[in-house]
């Protein structure tokens, strides 16, 4: 049997899905080790549009002129504050992976955000999901062990030592120890060669290894009578940071103000 329907009666049976506008993303430090990977990840995402790539010597206004709604910053500790200031002033959300933040710098950013209640800035020392979990697990375990040390291992071109992740891990562990009423770690801090016992971050020794062949790795070692616990994370490829970066890019517009770490975006 054949049926005929006039063209005017014909209706498209597929329900119309309203088009979701793409999110415009600018990348600062776009040609660096991390920036290159971010550019690839943004270009591969259906919901994101790469609108600006800025490096040292480029004009920062490019990101604003290009209509960036979110900027991802993987630059250098000595320039990142200026970049954040510019973005906040220009109503652009910031996803920051660059390291080197202390409490004073975080407080300054929070102050800059006060007159901009709709703008979000996330500062994350590590976007690797495994690294975020390592920090969480170390925090959980801290109260059970009198001894704790952090060893971070990185590629030889890393600009800072110790790593931002190691410093944050040590601070989180130290806070968990204080909250549990643990005394100072019983381990000797004396060194016959300066530096042999690492850096002291709130009472936690942090050691930094730099070695060709490595990317980004960290161990938290905890010890009690007759036992040790080692929590280790390895980033073998910078692709490991991209799910966390893209999550932050998509979430930051819904999280005005200052967020430190991506834990809350992961529901942790
Ligand atoms: N949070 C995380 O998960 C991770 C954080 N990091 C951190 O990210 C930062 C960058 O690391 P990495 O990519 O290895 O470093 P690179 O040195 O490879 O890249 C830095 C880039 O920033 C550019 N740059 C320098 N100054 C400016 C400026 N004023 N404006 C715009 N761009 C600028 C550099 O350009 P040029 O070369 O022309 O100077 C370069 O392209 C470090 O702090 C590192 O610790 C790294 C990995 C993961
Ligand atoms: O410079 C790097 O490479 C890394 N930097 C971050 C840090 O300092 O913690 C994150 C990761 O360790 C890689």
**Cα distance between residue 170 and residue 26, in whole Å:** 32
Burial of 45 (0-12, 13-18, 19+ CB in 10 A): middle
Residues 254, 90, 23: CA angle, nearest 5 degrees: 45
Query: Using a 6 Å cutoff on CB, does residue 248 contact ligand 1?
Result: no
Atom of ligand 1 nearest to the CA of 30: 41
pLDDT in tens, 106-135: 999 999 999 999 999 999 999 999 999 999
Whether 179 has a binding-site annotation, put simply, is: no
**Cα distance between residue 172 and residue 261, in whole Å:** 12
Quick check: 167 and 203 in contact, CB under 8 A? Answer: no
129-185+197-236 homologous superfamily: Dihydrodipicolinate Reductase; domain 2 (3.30.360.10)
- pLDDT band for 226, please (50, 70, 90 cuts): very high
CATH number of 23-123+240-265: 3.40.50.720
pLDDT in tens, 139-181: 999 999 999 999 999 999 999 999 999 999 999 999 999 999 9
- Domain residue ranges of the chain, discontinuous segments joined by +: 23-123+240-265, 129-185+197-236
Q: At what angle do helices 242-251 and 129-141 cross, to 10 degrees?
A: 90
pTM: 0.94
pLDDT in tens, 53-75: 999 999 999 999 999 999 999 99
Pocket mutation for ligand 2, best pick of 158, 161, 166, 217 (most atoms within 8 Å of C-beta)? 158
Catalytic (active site) residue 40: no
Whether 253 has a binding-site annotation, put simply, is: no
Within 6 A (CB) of ligand 2 lie 99, 125-126, 154, 158, 163-165, 216
- Domains 23-123+240-265 and 129-185+197-236 equal at CATH topology level: no
């Amino acid at each position: 049997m054949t049926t005929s329907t006039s063209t005017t009666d014909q209706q498209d049976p597929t329900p119309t899905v309203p088009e979701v506008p793409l999110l415009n993303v600018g990348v600062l430090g776009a040609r660096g080790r991390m920036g290159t990977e971010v550019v690839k990840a943004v270009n591969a995402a259906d919901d994101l549009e790469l609108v600006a790539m800025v490096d040292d010597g480029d004009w920062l206004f490019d990101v604003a002129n290009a209509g960036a709604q979110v900027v991802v910053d993987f630059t250098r500790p000595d320039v990142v504050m200026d970049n954040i200031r510019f973005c906040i002033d220009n109503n652009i959300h910031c996803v920051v992976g660059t390291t080197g933040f202390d409490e004073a710098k975080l407080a300054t950013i929070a102050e800059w955000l006060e007159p901009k209640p709709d703008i979000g800035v996330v500062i994350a020392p590590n976007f690797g999901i495994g690294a975020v979990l390592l920090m969480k697990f170390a925090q959980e375990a801290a109260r059970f062990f009198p001894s704790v040390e952090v060893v971070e291992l990185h590629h030889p071109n890393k600009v800072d030592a110790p790593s931002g992740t190691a410093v944050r891990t040590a601070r989180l562990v130290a806070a968990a120890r204080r909250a549990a009423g643990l005394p100072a770690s019983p381990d000797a801090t004396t060194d016959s060669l300066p530096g042999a016992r690492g850096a002291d971050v709130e009472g936690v020794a942090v050691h930094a290894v730099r070695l060709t062949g490595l990317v980004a790795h960290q161990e938290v070692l905890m010890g009690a009578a007759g036992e040790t616990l080692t929590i280790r994370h390895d980033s073998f490829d910078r692709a490991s940071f991209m799910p966390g970066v893209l999550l932050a890019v998509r979430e930051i517009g819904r999280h005005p103000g200052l967020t430190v770490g991506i834990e809350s975006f992961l529901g942790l």
